[in-house]
Structure formats: structure tokens, C-alpha cells
Amino acid sequence: MIAVWRLFGLFSWIALCAPFQTVLLWLKAPFAKRLPHIFHRVACRILGLDVQLWGERSRDRPTLFICNHTSYFDIIALGGVLPGSFVAKIEVRGWPLFGFMARLQRTVFVERRRAATAKHRDEMIERLEAGDSLVLFPEGTSNDGNRVLPFKSALFGVAEKPIGGRPLTVQPVSISYTRLNGIPMGRRYRPFYAWYGDMDLASHLFEMAGLGRATVVVECHQPVTIEQFKNRKELAAHCERVISEGVSKAISGRLEGRAIRGRGMRRLAAAARRRARASAGGLLDRMGSAVGNVPLRGPSDERRATLAENTPPSSSESGRG
């Protein structure tokens, strides 16, 4: 039943936003870039995806975000935290519903043929020069979410051209599906969210919608530029290594103790601040008592004071005048 309600909510949200976005694109309104970000954040709530953003997201415009790819849910999760359009394979354009939504989000569609690489690279550069950030999945396909596939370096060539007179900022971003209802997923349950191979899209979506709440960790790594590397292949290898490490740490629970960032962790961050203030307050009280600035009245002092008040004066004291 929960799957029916979630999918009903998702399709209702699509039906509400799609006509509005169509008009915004036709009018070339600036809000057409903002609405997909809002759409994805609400869609995450509807589908039970708790997205946690770790690290500092690049504030440079434009930025080329490099991400690993596990599922079509990556689009929803990343779209809510990364400002930009996606780069997708040309086949997505023909998908029912998802292809239509991709076009509304101003997705850049690319072919896998090597002969078309230069054409698509020029399209991406044109969008970047217009100030649009892009999200690229260099694996070229999705996987089971337990690892990262080798990166294809062809489209990293866009980073070789300066944008606005300066090197293009490239930021590796790792995305991992880590928990289901607060319990670590492990290799057994992660494929419920990963979509790869010959899985049927409709049945996979319905099955996932019937599960509980999933935790999705999005970690933004240190931004770089092409100037830090000899060529695009070294840049691609660096991004692959950093993202692989990020995924490994996230799915093994080794992100604990890091600085918390993003709206997805707001409640945890607030709780951590409360604990820190309480600890700091107790420490100051103890320090003040130790140096005598804040004298504390211990239990033994209270007992002595009570005895003094209730004990009648001696005869020698009562005879003093």
C-alpha cells in the first residue's frame, strides 16, 4: 500500500510541476533553472529518500560535477543538492516519462559513439559558457552500488577549455545508498535501489517505493582544475580514485565523525551542538569551582549549616552580654 501512495504522490507532483516548467522554458524565465532543484527535493521526501550532504559544495559558476552512477534515483537525490543540469546518454530521451522529465530539466544528451564526442563536448562547453553547471556520470552506465566502474575520459575534455577566462572548476561527488530504516543496507539490500543490467524499470520503481526510508550519502570532495594535471586522462583518474574512496567509506560506515554539512543532517547537527554546549557548560562549572570563582555548596556544607541552625546555644554563649 505504501508503494501505491508514494507513486501516486510522485506522479501528482510531476503533473503539477511539468506544465509550469514547460511554460517557464518557453518564456526562458530564470526560474526554469530553479524549479527542477525544488522538484527533486520534494520528490526525495515523497519516495522516502533521506539525502545527507557531506563536504563543501563548489560555489563557482559554472562547475562540472563528476559523479558515480548507481540508479535513476541518483538524478532525484543529486538534483536536490547540486545546482545544474545532467549529462545523460541519448537513450534516456526516449524513455517513457523519464525522458520527458529529462528534457524539462534541460538535460544534455550524448551518444556513446566516439565520432560524436567532439560534437557533444562542444554542446557541453556552450552550456558551461552560458553559466550552467553540469553533472556528468563518466562511468557511462549504472552498477550495483557496491563499487565504482572505470571512468571514460572523453568528455573530461570540456575541462581543457577555459570558461570566462579561467579554468573550469571540476568537483568529484560520490553518492552511496547506505541505510534502510536506519539499518546498514549491505550488499544484499543495496540492489533494491541500484538499477543496472536488464532490470525492468517499472517493477523496480514499484518495489523500491514499497520499502522504508533510505539514507543516501552525497559527499562533495575537493574541487580541482585541469591545470593541476597533465591532461584529461589524469584528471579522470583522479576523480575516479577520489569517488571510489568516498563510496567505500560511505557504505562501510567510515564517514562517522566528519563535519556535518547540508540540510539532510540538520537535526543531527543541532543535537551535536546541544551536546557540545552542555559539555562545555559542565566543564566551565567545574573549572570555576576549582579556582574559587564559582563556589559550589557541597552536601557536607549543607549538613553543617543545617546542624548549626538547629543546635541551641551553649550556656557560656547565652550568658554573654
How confident is the model over 1-35, as pLDDT tens digits?
889 999 999 999 999 999 999 999 999 999 999 99
Rounded distance between C-alpha atoms, residue 111 and residue 131, angstroms: 23
Considering the entire predicted model, what is its pTM?
A: 0.78
Rounded distance between C-alpha atoms, residue 79 and residue 68, angstroms: 14
Asked whether the CA dihedral 32, 37, 43, 45 is positive or negative, the reply is: negative
More confident residue, 157 or 317: 157
Which among 151, 127, 124 is positioned nearest to 138, based on CA atoms?
151
Collapsed DSSP state (helix, strand, coil) of residue 206: helix
Residues 119 and 161 in one domain: yes
Can you list the alpha helix ranges (DSSP code H) found in the chain? 2-27, 31-47, 73-79, 98-104, 117-129, 186-189, 201-209, 232-251, 266-291, 299-310, 315-318
- Domain's final residue, options 235, 259, 283: 259
Residues 86 and 192 in one domain: yes
Indicate whether 318 pLDDT > 70: no
Residues 284 and 204 in one domain: no
Number of independent structural domains in the chain: 2
- Domain's final residue, options 259, 280, 303: 259
In a domain, 311, yes or no: no
User: In this predicted model, what pLDDT tens digit does every residue of 280-294 receive, in sequence order?
Assistant: 555 445 544 444 444
Residues 67 and 174 in one domain: yes
Residues 87 and 206 in one domain: yes
Q: What is the CATH number of the domain that holds 216?
A: 3.40.1130
pLDDT band at 129 (very low <50, low <70, confident <90, very high): very high
pLDDT band at 112 (very low <50, low <70, confident <90, very high): confident
Indicate whether 194 pLDDT > 90: no
Length of the chain: 321
**Which range of residues forms the domain containing residue 187?**
2-259
C-alpha cell at 248: 567505500
> Which helix H or strand E contains 88, and what residues bound it?
strand 85-89
Residues 223 and 280 in one domain: no
Residues 67 and 36 in one domain: yes
Residues 39 and 138 in one domain: yes
Q: Return the residue matching grid coordinates 543531527.
A: 268
Enumerate residues 6+ apart whose C-beta is below 8 A from 74.
67, 137, 142, 175
Share of the chain above pLDDT 90, in %: 50
Residues 277 and 208 in one domain: no
Phi and psi at 301, nearest 5°, equal: -65, -40
More confident residue, 321 or 311: 311
Residues 139 and 272 in one domain: no
In a domain, 105, yes or no: yes
Query: Cis peptide before 191, with omega less than 30 degrees from 0?
Result: no
